[in-house]
Amino acid sequence: MGQEIDQSRFSAADFAEFEARLAAETELLATWFDQQRFVDTPPEAGFELEAWLVDRRHMAPAPLIEELLARVDNPLVVPELAQFNLELNGTPLRLTGDALSQLANELKHTLAQCKAAAADLDAHITTVGILPTLRADHLVMARMTPRERYRALNEQILRLRKGEPIWLNIHGERPLSIEQQDVMLEAATTSFQIHLKMSAAESARIFNASKILSAPMVALAGNSPFLFGREFWCETRVPLFEQSVSVGGSPLRERVGFGISYAERSVMECFRANIVRYPVLLPQLMDEPIERLAHLRLHNGTIWRWNRPLIGFDAPDRPHLRLEHRVAAAAATVADNVANAAFYFGSVRALSRAVTPLEQQLSFLQARDNFYQAAEYGFQAEIPWTDGRRIPIPRLILDQLLPLARDGLRDLGVDRAEIDHWLGIIEQRTRTKRTAAAWQRAWTARFGPDMAALTEAYLAHQANDKPIHEWTLD
């Protein structure tokens, strides 16, 4: 969940000083947008993949992150909120040639390191949106990774809630309503976060196109149908994450969400909204030059938009912009994750450069409604598109978005064989309607709601490294 800090208790003076520095850094950032100070290099691709440690005997979450990190000793592997989660990062690459295969090969290598270390601990590593064997009693403070950032986030979110517990309510055939005394519900959700470096001039178009693409992306990447043994949305991770770190009060202050509008000129509008709409959670004061935007970046890291703009630096004086597309669940295999990224990179490239902006043809409110419909119903969802008529999401992907994704990847200079391979996975998944969520549901329909056996079968197929559309139900 982001940058580490060195304390978890703060004074009123800390908040006041942090807010002053945040305001000054935001004004500086605005001048950078006006002066076009950002690095304008070819697009680069990156990712973050969250994963689970699973006990071999019981298929339950295994709180072994510290032991695993000591064995792996790889800067690309970092802890997450819970002791049974980890995050694998990719080295950013220029998005051209065989970059997608390079990302896949690095991820395979990092994942193999983690799996070998986990085996020494009598555990598995798995990537899934929500682990089917997860129980509410796994999500307790004793399982929080001992880092000051996580302690502080918990304390500050509860402070904003004035001590009121967090309520989780998810509708379904068997609705769920539970009370949680901390933010540990967030640890139930793991995702594949796709990063794309962009210029300031194109940032509004990419941001808006990413919002519109969120509906088909969340549907084709669905991998979270079960929570605490009950079946809910294809992407139950979406309502779970949004509610798990709820600060209460006005919906405009909620830290996870789809947003309230498209961008008009640039994503600078998001950074201004960060001050107006979101109270500071982590007022860690840092002794860094204002040009490093340290406080702005820390604050932005505590606002988990489904499409989040980020500031980074290629060198001390070379700032860059990235868009973090956060809607995809952690997929079943490396191939599925990279295919999801390929589809996003190609589609967003084509849509953000279309002569007529798609955001002029599809209202923001409709794009937002489409996202939640797709999260709930997956490939069964039918959503209004640019002509106002409803279209099944698989038909939208096959007829309109896959051709655009091919065009976009070609425009980026991605090799033809790469395009055919990675988008071929998306095409077959869409034609068969075999998402990971659909596979999990089909497995339990045949064998019953045994979450441990489901997890064991999932791990067995995962070990074969075949994309999800090739999985059987044996």
- pLDDT tens digit sequence for 277-303: 999 999 999 999 999 999 999 999 999
Q: E strands, 240-328, where?
A: 256-257, 304-305, 307-315, 318-325
CA distance to 1, 124, 151, per residue, from 70 (Å): 20, 16, 22
Confidence of residue 249 (pLDDT cuts 50, 70, 90): confident
CA atoms within 13 A on the CB side of 33: 22
Give the pLDDT of residue 116: 98
Domain ranges of the chain: 12-468
CA atoms within 13 A on the CB side of 135: 8
User: What is the β-pairing status of strands 256-257 and 304-305?
Assistant: parallel
Average pLDDT over residues 365-373: 98
Confidence of residue 413 (pLDDT cuts 50, 70, 90): very high
Give the pLDDT of residue 219: 98
φ/ψ (deg, to 5) at 54: -130, 130
The packing angle between helices 416-432 and 334-352, to 10°, is: 100
Confidence of residue 339 (pLDDT cuts 50, 70, 90): very high
pLDDT at 414 over 60: yes
Contact 178, 168 (CB under 8 A): yes
Average pLDDT over residues 114-120: 98
Domain made up of 12-468: CATH architecture: 2-Layer Sandwich (3.30)
Contact 134, 227 (CB under 8 A): yes
Tell me the pLDDT tens digit for each residue of 59-96.
999 999 999 999 999 999 999 999 999 999 999 999 99
Type of residue numbered 207: F
Distance CA 360, CA 53 (A): 44
Distance CA 361, CA 355 (A): 12
447, two tokens: 């064998």
Average pLDDT over residues 187-197: 98
Confidence of residue 409 (pLDDT cuts 50, 70, 90): very high
Contact 144, 183 (CB under 8 A): no
The packing angle between helices 203-220 and 416-432, to 10°, is: 50
Give the pLDDT of residue 149: 94
Distance CA 143, CA 56 (A): 18
Confidence of residue 56 (pLDDT cuts 50, 70, 90): very high
Confidence of residue 329 (pLDDT cuts 50, 70, 90): very high
Average pLDDT score over the chain = 96
Which of 418, 420, 470, 465 has its CA nearest to residue 103?
418
DSSP bridge partners of 50: 87
pTM above 0.85, yes or no: yes
- Cα angle: 224, vertex 230, 235; to 5 degrees: 20
Distance CA 127, CA 332 (A): 6
Residue recorded with tokens 């999990």: 440
Give the pLDDT of residue 39: 86
pLDDT at 228 over 70: yes
Which of 391, 329, 374, 328 has its CA nearest to residue 216?
374
pLDDT at 4 over 90: no
DSSP bridge partners of 227: 230
pLDDT at 7 over 80: no
Distance between terminal CA atoms of the chain? Answer: 36
Give the pLDDT of residue 322: 97
pLDDT at 1 over 70: no
Give the pLDDT of residue 374: 98
Contact 69, 51 (CB under 8 A): no
Give the pLDDT of residue 114: 98
Give the pLDDT of residue 316: 77
Contact 327, 221 (CB under 8 A): yes
